[in-house]
Amino acid sequence: MRTLEKNKVDMWYVNPTTETQVVDVNGDYTGEKELNYSIPTSIRLHLYPSTGEVVLKTFGKEINVDMVSVSNIELEKNTLLFFTEPTENFDTTYDYNVTAILKSLNSYQYGLKGRI
């Protein structure tokens, strides 16, 4: 029942593409790294809370996620998800971040952590 079309939510996602080193005002590297992201793409996902025995058996006790999604679309770890189309500052305006991925024969299960 969770994977019915009517239970899908319209969202947007951006995948991390490259990683660049942060430079301070003097032109020196700070040792920090910043992720660059792809162009926002629309997606329809099934979202449900990460409570219950099914999630516990799937991801285990040690996982710390807020929502779980099942999809046949392949996302990457650290993919950012948005409820509205993002325009800029992806890393500070996202709604959910993909933190866990489990691949099955025909689909993927994602553990999503909300932005605080």
Q: Which residues contact 55 (CB under 8 A, 6 or more apart)?
A: 68
Per residue in 36-82, pLDDT (tens digit) is 899 999 999 988 887 777 777 777 777 888 888 888 888 999 999 99
Q: Which CATH architecture has domain 5-114?
A: Beta Barrel (2.40)
Q: What is the pLDDT of residue 3?
A: 66
Tokens describing residue 89: 């500052």
Nearest 10 degrees: CA dihedral of 101, 62, 60, 69? -40
Tokens describing residue 3: 């994977």
Q: pTM of the entire structure?
A: 0.83
Query: Residue 82 in contact with residue 13, Cβ under 8 Å?
Result: yes
